[in-house]
């Protein structure tokens, strides 16, 4: 088993993995593991669960004990019984007896109070079917409430150079203070951040002779000290991502990245409760 202190800071993403040609992607995924990556976040929402079904091949070949598997409750939760039911579907598909972390992907998926949902997750920890408790796409008030009432070990949320809302509202600082491990998704905004060729990124890329994506990942992992989930099925890109940990920038350059703002992203009002507005997970995709 992999404990929290042994989790590699670069997580393995699975969005848009080719379910019809998974064997080709499998080799790249194994390259990630050979490079030390071990945090795997899975979602039934992707291709109606087909990505999870295909990922079983990866789990089998990589070895269960070599992966920290995080799973998400994503279907409608109308009773506490739905919590274990959804978890059991992951366990059955993957052929495993426990997951390392279980989280509610979107808080608004639940029709019952989240404290009840998380009470049920805590019961699954007692049963040995879950090791750690996480939350995803939640606002600061909810993160604080669930941590104080139930206890949280992980938090997943959107964070990148352009979308710093989780930091702005205090989630990153709270997670640091409370020893909650934060992992961000879309750290590179699916290569769209680099595609904008911001002068600051171009400057730092040239200065350190690294790609813009490596500069971004280095800043997130070394300066912000949070994990980052990156999906890639290219061996070359995986090696590039891993190499983002192999250098250190000057403090003044980290400070520049800390102070960078993207006004059009900042101007978007976030609906943290999922009542019909733009939710935090949608922010990264609002602009090209």
Q: What is the pLDDT along the chain (288 residues), one digit of tens a residue?
A: 999 999 999 999 988 788 788 888 898 899 999 999 999 999 998 888 899 999 999 999 999 999 999 999 987 899 999 999 999 999 999 999 999 999 999 999 999 999 999 999 999 999 999 999 999 999 999 999 999 999 999 999 999 999 999 999 999 999 999 999 999 999 999 999 999 999 999 999 999 999 999 999 999 999 999 999 998 888 999 999 999 999 999 999 999 999 999 999 999 999 999 999 999 999 999 999
**pLDDT score, position 71:** 97
Taking alpha carbons only, the member of 53, 136, 135 closest to residue 90 is 53
Helix (H) or strand (E) holding 157: strand 154-158
Decide: 164 and 193 in contact? Cβ < 8 Å. Answer: no
Taking alpha carbons only, the member of 7, 8, 11, 1 closest to residue 231 is 11
Could you tell me what percent of the chain has a pLDDT over 70?
Answer: 100
Counted domains in the chain = 1
**pLDDT score, position 49:** 86
pTM (global) more than 0.85: yes
Residue 160 CB neighbour total at 10 angstroms: 25
**pLDDT score, position 62:** 96
**pLDDT score, position 15:** 85
Expressed as residue numbers, the domain containing 25 is: 4-285
Q: CA 26 to CA 20: how far, in whole Å? A: 12
Tell whether the torsion through CA atoms of 165, 169, 174 and 176 is positive or negative: positive
**pLDDT score, position 46:** 83
CATH number of residue 127's parent domain: 3.20.20.100
Decide: 216 and 158 in contact? Cβ < 8 Å. Answer: no
């Amino acid at each position: 088993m992999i404990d929290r202190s042994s989790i590699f800071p670069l997580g393995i993403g699975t969005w848009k993995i080719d379910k019809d040609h998974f064997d080709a992607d499998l080799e790249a995924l194994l390259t990630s593991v050979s490079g030390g990556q071990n945090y795997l976040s899975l979602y039934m929402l992707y291709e109606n669960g087909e990505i999870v079904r295909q990922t079983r091949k990866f789990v089998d070949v990589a070895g269960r004990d070599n992966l920290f598997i995080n799973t998400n409750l994503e279907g409608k939760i109308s009773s506490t019984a739905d919590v274990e039911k959804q978890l059991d579907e992951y366990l059955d598909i993957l052929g495993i007896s426990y997951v390392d972390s279980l989280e509610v992907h979107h808080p608004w998926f639940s029709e019952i109070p989240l404290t009840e949902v998380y009470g049920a997750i805590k019961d699954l920890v007692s049963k040995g079917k879950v090791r750690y408790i996480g939350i995803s796409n939640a606002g600061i008030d909810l993160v604080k409430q669930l941590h104080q009432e139930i206890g949280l070990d992980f938090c997943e949320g959107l964070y990148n150079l352009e979308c710093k809302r989780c930091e702005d509202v205090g989630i990153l600082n709270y997670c640091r203070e409370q020893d909650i491990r934060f992992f961000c998704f879309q750290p590179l905004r699916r290569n769209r951040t680099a595609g904008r060729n911001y002068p600051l990124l171009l400057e730092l890329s040239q200065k350190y002779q690294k790609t813009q994506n490596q500069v971004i990942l280095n800043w997130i992992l070394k300066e912000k000290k949070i994990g980052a989930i990156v999906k890639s099925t290219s061996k070359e890109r995986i090696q590039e991502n891993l190499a983002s940990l192999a250098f250190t920038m000057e403090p003044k350059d980290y400070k520049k990245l800390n102070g960078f703002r993207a006004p059009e992203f900042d101007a978007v009002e976030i609906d943290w409760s999922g009542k019909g507005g733009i939710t935090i997970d949608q922010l990264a995709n609002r602009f090209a």
